[in-house]
Structure 1
Amino acid sequence: MDIAHFGVEEWLNKWEKKATYDISQSSIEALTLEELIGLDGTTVADFFENLSKESLDYGWIEGSDEFKSLVASLYKHVEPNTILQTNDATGANFLVLYALIEPGDHVVSMLPTYQPLYDIPLSLGAAVDFVELKEKDHWQLDLDALQSKLTAKTKMICLNSANNPTGTLLDIPTLKAIVEMARKVDAYILIDEVYAPLTGKGEFMSIVDLYEKDIATNSLSKTYSLPGVRIGWTASSKEIADIFRKYRDYTMICGGVLSDELAVHALKSKDKIIERNRKIIKENLFILNQWVEKEPLVSLVPPNYVSTAFIKLDISQEDEAFCIDLLEETGVLLVPGTAFDFPRYARLGYCCKQETLTKALELLSGFLRKFDK
C-alpha cells in the first residue's frame, strides 16, 4: 500500500524544536503533570505512591471500566461498553478507517481537514471526493455540494468538527442534514471531534448522538490539554464497536496502566480543565482578533472557541518558504497552508502561553512589513 506524506506532522517534526515562539500547535497550552494531578488537591508524590504497587502489566485492554464510564458520560446516548480506548484520536481515526474501508469503496471528505481522514481511505484503495471549504463562506460546509458528491456506492462521510485547521464548527442543523443524506445512501459518518468547542452555548452536539451508523473519535489532547498522555477513543453503536474490536487487536492491544490512570484522573476533573481552557481561549482569541484587525496583510475567519486558527497571508511569497524564512529570522513557527493542501494560508495556534503569543504576533507583524505594497 502507498500513502501520501503527512504534511503537518512532517513539518512539525522538522521545525518545531527549532522555534523560540511556537504558535503552530493546535492544542490548548498543555498541563504539566503537577497541574493535572493537583486538580483535585492530590500531590504528585501521593498519586504515584498509590500506584507504586500496581503491576505494569497490560492492564485494561479496551480501557478501564471507569475510563469507559467517564467517556460515555460525555455523550447523551452512548453506553460504556461501546467506548474503545485508542492511541489518541490519531489511533481512533485509523482504527475506524482500517476496520470499515475496503478497496473500491467511495468516501466523501472536506478540504482542508485533518489529512488522515482522506489519505488513509485513499491508501486503502477507496475513491475519495472532496467538498472544498471556502473562506468567503466562513469555512462552512456546503450541504448542496456534499449532497452532489454522494452516490449509492458511498461508504463513509469523513469530517471533523470543529475543523482543523480553520476552527469552524458543524452546527446542529447542519449535522442533522448530513445524517439525513447519509441515511438515504446507508453510509457511515465519521467525525473527528477532538476540537470540541468551549463556548458553553449549546452549539455543539456529537454525531454519535444523532445516527445509528455514526462514529465519533476524540481524545484528551486538545480540549483537555493532555497530548502527552496519548489516550483517545471511539464512540459508536455496539454493532459498530464489535466490528472495531477485531481490528483494534491488531493495532493497539492496550493504552497502558499509567496512561489510563492519568486519563481517569483528568476526566474526573474535566470541569476544572474546561474552566481553565475556556479562560485561555477567551483571552488569547481576543489578543489574536485585535492583532488581525491591525495587521493589513492578514485576514481570519475567527475560530469557534477552539484552539486552531487559519490565517490568510496577503503576500507575494509562497507560504512554505515564508514560514521557513519567518522561523529562521524571528524564531516564530507557523504551519504553512500547503501542509493542508491550501496554499497562501497558515495555521496559527493561539492557545499557547499569553506572553509567547503576544511576542510572536509582534515579530510576525515586523516580518510582514517587507511585503507591504
Structure 2
Amino acid sequence: MVKIQPFQVEQWMDRLETTPGVLNIAETCAASVSVDDLVQLCKDKNAPGPLSLSTKLTYGAIRGSEKLRQRVASLFDRESEASTLPAENVIITQGAITANYLLFYTLVGPGDHVICVYPTYQQLYSVPESLGAEVSLWKLKAENDYIPDVSELEGLVKTNTKMIVINNPNNPTGSTTPKSVLEKIIAFAKQRDIIVFADEVYNPLYHSLPDGQTAPPSVLALGYEKTVASGSMSKAYSLAGIRLGWVASRDKSIIEAVAVARDYTSISVSQLDDQVASYALSEPVLRPLLQRNLALARSNLALVSAFVEKYKSVCSWVKPTAGTTALVQFKKKGVIVDDPSFVLDLLEKTKVLFMPASPCFGSGHDFKGYVRLGYVCETEVLKEGLARLGNYIEQNLL
C-alpha cells in the first residue's frame, strides 16, 4: 500500500471553511465569478455564449477540446521567445491538482531524486516522496524575499536528480521568481538533462512587482525542451468551481506519457467545464477578467499592507509581489504565537479564518507563528475580516 503524508492544508480547509458564519480569508482563489459574470465581462456582445445546450454530453475530446487547448497554448505564446506551443502539447485535466499528480506519477519513482522549492503547496513534494522518490527541499528565505538562491542547487543536486520543481508565483509566500533567476535554473538543469516542472497556477497575477521589474515568463518560454508547466482556471481566472486545469510541455514525449497514465483516471473533463473555460479564455473575456483580478489584488493588498503597518509590533511579513496569498507572522508581547492554536482561537472568537503555516506548509519549527492569508477575496469580506482581526489583536495580543 502506498503511504502518503496527510495533505495538511486541504484537511484544515475542509474541516474549518464550512464553519457557520465564517469570514474566509484563507481562500486562495481570486474572488470567484459566475457564468453570468463572465458574460457581463465579455467585450464582444455578439460573441456566442459560454454553453451550447444542444451539445450531446458524451465524454467529449479526451485530451480537451481543440478550441480550449489552443487557447491554453496561446497563454504561453504571448510571453514566449521560443517557437509557438502546439495545442497537442497541452492536456486538459480536472484541475491543476490532477495535472500535478499525473505528472509525478508518470515521471518519478524509486531511484529518482527530486528537488522542490519550500515552502510550497504540499502536493509538490509529498506526492513524489509517496511514489518512492527521494526529495530534497530547496528552502526559500525571507531575507531573500523568498526568491530561490540558484547557488544552492549545486549542494542539492545528485547524479540521479530527475526533476526540479518550482512554484511561480509562490504559494504561500506570494513571491515572484524573476526571469533572470528562471534562466539560471534552466541553464543549470539543461546542463544536467534535468526536467524543470513549474506549478504556475497563480500566473499571470504579477500585480505588485518592484519598479522596473517585468512579469516573468512561463518556464515553457525559455527555450528548454524538458520544461513542464501546470495551470488552472481556479486561481487567476476565478473559476475553481469548474475544476479545470492543464499540463503543458515543450517535450511531446512527456505529454504522451501523461496521456497514457491519464487513461487510468478521469479519462476526460466535463464538456460543460471545457466550454466555460474556453469562453473565459477567449480574448473578449480573458482581458477584462484579468484586469478585474489584478485590480482587486492591488487594492486588497494595500489594505493588508496598511494593517500590517498599523500592527507592526504584533505582525510582520515579506510583502507579496504576486498571486493571492501572503505569509504573516504573529507575536504576543514579543513571543511568537503557536499558529495552530492562534488560528483556532481566532476562528472561535471572531469567525475569521486563516491557515496555520507550521502544519500546512512546514515541518518541525518551520514557519512557527505564521499564517497564510488569502487577500484577493471580495473586498468587503477582507475589510470585515481585518477589522475583526484588529479587535482580536487589541484584546489578546497587545
- What is the deviation of 1:305? 3.0
AA matched with 1:203: A
AA matched with 1:324: L
Distance 1:37 1:351 in 2: 21
Counterparts of 1:1-373 in structure 2 under 5 Å?
Answer: 1-18=2-19, 19-40=21-42, 47=49, 51-75=52-76, 76=80, 77-196=84-203, 197-199=205-207, 202-210=214-222, 211-237=224-250, 238-268=252-282, 269-295=285-311, 296-315=313-332, 316=335, 317-338=337-358, 339-341=360-362, 342-372=367-397
**SS of 1:223 mapped into structure 2:** coil
**SS of 2:17 mapped into structure 1:** helix
When structure 1 is superposed on structure 2, of 311-320 and 74-83 the one drifting more is: 311-320
Using the size of structure 1 for normalisation, the TM-score is: 0.95
**SS of 1:85 mapped into structure 2:** strand
**Structure 1, unaligned stretches of length 5 or more?**
none
AA matched with 2:389: L
Distance 1:352 1:264 in 2: 24
Over residues 221-257 of structure 1, what are the superposed CA-to-partner deviations in whole Å (9 max), with x where a residue is unaligned? 1111111111100110222211211111112211111
Tell me if the contact between 2:93 and 2:269 (Cα under 8 Å) persists in the aligned partners.
Answer: yes
- What is the deviation of 1:277? 0.6
Structure with greater helix share of residues: 1
Using the size of structure 2 for normalisation, the TM-score is: 0.89
Tell me if the contact between 1:284 and 1:351 (Cα under 8 Å) persists in the aligned partners.
Answer: yes
Tell me if the contact between 1:151 and 1:185 (Cα under 8 Å) persists in the aligned partners.
Answer: no
Distance 2:276 2:176 in 1: 29
* Percentage of matched positions with identical amino acids: 35
Superposition CA RMSD, Å: 1.7
- What is the deviation of 1:37? 3.1
Tell me if the contact between 1:78 and 1:209 (Cα under 8 Å) persists in the aligned partners.
Answer: no
Distance 1:327 1:162 in 2: 28
When structure 1 is superposed on structure 2, of 155-164 and 69-78 the one drifting more is: 69-78
- What is the deviation of 1:353? 1.2
Tell me if the contact between 1:27 and 1:308 (Cα under 8 Å) persists in the aligned partners.
Answer: no
When structure 1 is superposed on structure 2, of 262-271 and 135-144 the one drifting more is: 135-144
Over residues 186-221 of structure 1, what are the superposed CA-to-partner deviations in whole Å (9 max), with x where a residue is unaligned? 111111001112339632210012211110000111
Over residues 302-356 of structure 1, what are the superposed CA-to-partner deviations in whole Å (9 max), with x where a residue is unaligned? 1113211111112343100110010010000000012111321101011111111
Distance 1:149 1:267 in 2: 38
